[in-house]
Structure 1
Amino acid sequence: MAVELPIDHLAEVWPDELRGRRIGALLHPASVNSKLEHTSQILGREDGKLFQLRALFGPQHGYRGETQDNMIEWRSYKHPRLRIPVYSLYGEHREPTREMLRDVDLLLIDLQDIGARYYTFIWTMYLVMRACERQDIHVVVLDRPNPINAVTVEGPRLNPDYRSFVGMHPIPVRHGKTVGELATQFHDECFPKCALTILPMKNWERAIWFDQTGLPWVMPSPNMPTLDTATVYPGMCLLEGTNVSEGRGTTRPFEIFGAPWIDPEKFCRELNGLKLPGTYFREMFFQPTFQKFAGELCGGAQLHVTDRDSFRSFETGLEVIRCSRRMYANHFQWKQPPYEYEFKRLPIEVLLGGPVSEFFPN
């Protein structure tokens, strides 16, 4: 039975006590219903009936997904059809200001997360909840599936001393929760005075993957094209903290990785020799169109997940880095700051959520 989202039945599930509120909505391109209609269109139809729509907000990569590359800020603007402001929460401000919330007494959040601590949408939600608690604004979260299932948990909990915009609260790397469950956790552990309502899904089960939900996949961000990408992301995103390409600028980011100085045949022989569960590394060459090594021929691999239930992305990512350091010690380097608004710590430490020496001792 297909999963039904709260946005599929918004008029039916909208709480009576919240009718007539002046609302803002935090959305992105994957904020769609099961028929691929964008949440903003549904909100526009209900404007004046269920509530009064006063503002829109967007996270990293933009409300419309207009910033392709990573860590590119975007500016607020006026929505051409709805004639209301669209506020950027990935630019001059990452937390809504008092002025942004001036005409709002309820903020609706409808974001598709992908199940990893580094994915910044959940931290935009965290900051929205913090701002709303301060200004006594009700938060309503429309729940969505964790695409890589909500059972499997991987990686360490964030060390609080290593908080950043890719980790603001101690949760594991692969957190095993839905966006609604994370909002509940943030409420209970950080913002207990934030009035919070979670509108649940129907027919969802914790163990299912996104391709078992019956819902259409829409890229939550420009470099998250498929469920396969999301599956490998909790580990392979660690390459962002190195001078090895994580495949941005290719059609399979985070699955494809390498560098001009890597010999694909030797590299894959070494990686496959580790016999990591559910993996096969296929040797390949590629040429990124942007980001690291743009326009240069790189040797490396494509990570094929042969059994996603036994596959452990985080440990796989660690082993890829260990192998790269061991085989190419004269070339491998840790990327230097800044990274996601962090200007002092190494990007790899920001991603790991702790000291690099705990994972790579030498």
Structure 2
Amino acid sequence: MNFKHAVTAPVALCALLALPSQPLMGQSDEKANALLTEAITEGKMAGAVVLITRDGETLYSTAVGEAQSEPSSRPMEMETVFDMASITKPVSTATAIMCLVDQGKIDLEAPVAKYWPAFGANGKETITITDLMLHRGGLIPDNSLRDYSDDQAKNWQNLANLKPTAKPGEKFAYSDVGFQVLGKVVEEVSGQPLDVFVQEHIFAPLKMTESTYNPPEPLQKRAASTEKVGGEWLTGKVHDPRAARMTGVAGHAGLFSTAADMTRYGQAMIQEGELDGVKIFSPATFKTMTTPRKVPRGLRALGWDVNSPYSSNRPTAMSDAAFGHGGFTGTVLWIDPEQKIVFVFLSNRLHPDGKGSVNKLAAEVADTILKTK
């Protein structure tokens, strides 16, 4: 008998038994599934699609609940289309701005009025593109719905005439108005409508084939419902009332997309603006966009939230290099270039009664997966 093996084998076995139990394959998935099911039961959302990838490999993927519960039930599917709400800001508008920066057509430190002269009215002449991208331009969060009508020229004039409530850089105030203005800047500089520009310069190059404003009927039929407005369930039609009054195309809201498309976008950002050999902007532009900057009471990146007091939907497993955003309809996107993670959480928390809540849930689901895989 080999004495060495006779001694070490039992010792090794005892050592193994003394180790803390490790999660079995699938346990984290089951816990994440349970969190989602519980949230549906508690009325936090009607359903959700979650997709988490690391280095291009899927860690977790699920579709739970209903895309629509009233007036009839329709199941949630991985291919369900969502109203992305404020995720429009970074994915569409801020990315479009950075594309134009990369092309040498926009200077981030230039006054907004350089590109849209009407904006300089009423003391706004020194507000820069960067100020608006960081929500430190001194603009109000939203202007009155009474400022909107079918006259789009008048709508823009009302936005241009708004007065600031603070000096640029003086305070942080999350502003839909600021991103509406940035969307207008994209149009003024490019000579194209915002939806056309992002389609040609972002979505088509990245093969995000199901990302669009005002989705056509085939995508509408696959869309998750939000609330009932004017006796009609909003399904494939923008929920944000200001974006709706701006023909469905706005810098702050209006984008529709799927989990798969958001993951493609995230993967392109992990690769510094490139996917499948196609670049939407340079690595230097990517760094400019995503590097955290100081703002009053915290940090922001250009168009993005980072590890800040406002990021309740941010998974704690993410590194400090991560950036992300949420949307009012119950959408969450976080991208971690350091760990090569893309986290997409898309829900219809507003359906059917407008009372759901998912920010903390989203972070908890992601952490359940990321901390065990």
User: If the length of structure 2 is used for normalisation, what is the TM-score?
Assistant: 0.28
Quick check: which has more Rg, 1 or 2? 2
User: If the length of structure 1 is used for normalisation, what is the TM-score?
Assistant: 0.28
